[in-house]
Structure 1
Amino acid sequence: MTESFPARHAPAIVENCPFPLLLLDRQGRVIGCNRAFERLVGADTAAALRGRSLQSVEDESLKSLFRSGSEVGWNDREGGMRHFEIHRSLLPQTEGMEMRLFVDVSGRVELQRAHDALKKELERHTLTDPTTGLLNERGIMLALEPQVARSRRYNNPMAVIMMEVHGGEDRPATLREAARLLRDQLRWADLVGSSDQQEFILVLPETSAESALRLSEKLRIRLQETLADSLWIGAGVTGWQRNDSATSLLRRAAMALSEARSAAGGHPVAL
């Protein structure tokens, strides 16, 4: 068992604590602080706080330091942003005295921000959708561009279908099953991916818009029968046109899907 230190050492321990520390009475007035707190806000500012309620502080910088919550951001005297965890403790046998300990967690916050930025950068470069395992929108764009160039060069037909599966209690499971069914129904040369809005994108080389429209209806019925009748499944279809880019193809397919959402019966729409 850890033995308590002698009470006579308490003032020295508080004074030399490396963390800024503030003592408040039961009315929330400052009655003391340690050297670390003085270094944090400045000795003159710390002295001016004595006897004052934290609610009466008018300086905006100090007010942010004394906000409620377990963590605060604060612009220090040099203009740098620092982050502190605030640990509050009512001291026993002191008639309601409160101790506030300010633990600088700026390094941890910066590390978390760097981690989040790296995660976003990796997401920007990844080519697969985490829910379905299909190519994501970036992956589809990279795969579609050579197909567009080939159609432009040889004047070969190509079509794009954009499908939406809406509803279901377990949406991720529904999307995964729909992805599996679509992969099974398509040819080896066809591409299937998922947009950022979790719509399915089907790229069909050597396929006319008319053939793609018939295929989309067949796929819609198959998905409806296999997944659930209660699901809404719509499709927008477009064929490659001269001077099309990958972006314009996907945009037109999205417009066709938008029209399909408005159409009665959910039948595919071609543009």
Structure 2
Amino acid sequence: MQEAGIPHPRANHRETHMQPLDATQIKELIAGLDEGVALLDAERRVLEANPAFRELTGLAPGDRLDAPPFTDLPESGERRELAWMVAGRKRHCEVHVHALGGDLHALVCRDVSALRALESECKRLAAELSDQSLKDAETGVLTERGLTLVLESQVSRSRRYGNPLTLVVLGLYGRDLTPQTYPAVARILRDQLRWADVVARGEAGEFFLLLPETGGEDAARLVEKLQARLAAEFCDRDVWTLFGLAEWTRVDDERRLIRRARQHLQQAHARLSA
């Protein structure tokens, strides 16, 4: 028996259905997204497009995707990188398509042009740095001279575009340091870092880690990860590490950034010795 004052669970039951969004709602939904988003019909005609999509592609509602590279769009649920020219500038975008039901699809474009430009710059620098005087013979990483050349380019890029850049210096200490320790550390650093990051060995035997597109907080998290990895590697030997970290500011050139990173390492060592 139903208790007084307590409605039966089914008493106010109503079937509810999701109402499809109209064109205005879709336009408002995608307008503020950082990624380029367009709504396509069955004929690949753009029905709606946010500002980011228009800037990335040069296309607007009413246009059809019937010319390369848009004739090579991925299947729904897949991703593919495409490149095209817009207003005299080459764009690299990771694109994927989502089926929305019926004949409607959403085309999403994520701009990866900056990453591809960085990759190209790194390859160019690698070719320039093939000179043996710029490579450390013991570890195979860059020398400090090589680091300075790469850092000069990266500082110029950060100054131009405002991208974050951090330089980390790693000092090695302990009674069990041997000539074999340094190549082992270099190998671990290369394994743990991204392709765009640069490892170098300083004139005093320390290691430098140049981290493009990385702010101070992210670099600090990476340092914690590296400390744990190196501690595990040398857990049975008296080898330990200290790090200094300098995030690029607009008053820094490459030499000042190296100097600040070294100063922070020295301060860390002084605190430990106090």
With structure 2 as the length reference, what TM-score do the two structures score? 0.50
Paired residue for 1:187?
194
Paired residue for 2:148?
141
1:132 aligns with 2:152: no
> How far, CA to CA, are the matches of 1:222 and 1:151 in structure 2?
30
Aligned pairs (5 A) from 1:1-271: 126-169=133-176, 171-228=178-235, 230-264=238-272
Residues 176, 238 of structure 2: 8 Å contact kept: no
The structure number with the bigger radius of gyration is: 1
> How far, CA to CA, are the matches of 1:170 and 1:157 in structure 2?
34
Structure holding more helix per residue: 1
Q: 1:168 to 1:134 in 2, by over 3 A?
A: farther
Q: 1:154 to 1:262 in 2, by over 3 A?
A: same
Residues 166, 216 of structure 2: 8 Å contact kept: yes
Q: 1:196 to 1:203 in 2, by over 3 A?
A: same
Residue segments in structure 2 that go unaligned for 5+ positions in a row: 1-130
- Secondary structure (helix, strand or coil) at the match of 1:236 reads strand
Deviation at 1:185, TM superposition (A): 0.1
Q: 1:211 to 1:197 in 2, by over 3 A?
A: same
In the alignment, residue 244 of structure 1 is paired with which amino acid?
Answer: D
Deviation at 1:170, TM superposition (A): 5.1
> How far, CA to CA, are the matches of 1:202 and 1:161 in structure 2?
5
> How far, CA to CA, are the matches of 1:149 and 1:197 in structure 2?
26
- Secondary structure (helix, strand or coil) at the match of 1:126 reads helix
Please give the root-mean-square deviation of Cα atoms over the aligned residues, in Å.
2.0
Deviation at 1:130, TM superposition (A): 1.8
Residue segments in structure 1 that go unaligned for 5+ positions in a row: 1-123, 266-271
Q: 1:168 to 1:178 in 2, by over 3 A?
A: farther
In the alignment, residue 230 of structure 1 is paired with which amino acid?
Answer: D
- Secondary structure (helix, strand or coil) at the match of 2:180 reads helix
Residues 177, 239 of structure 2: 8 Å contact kept: no
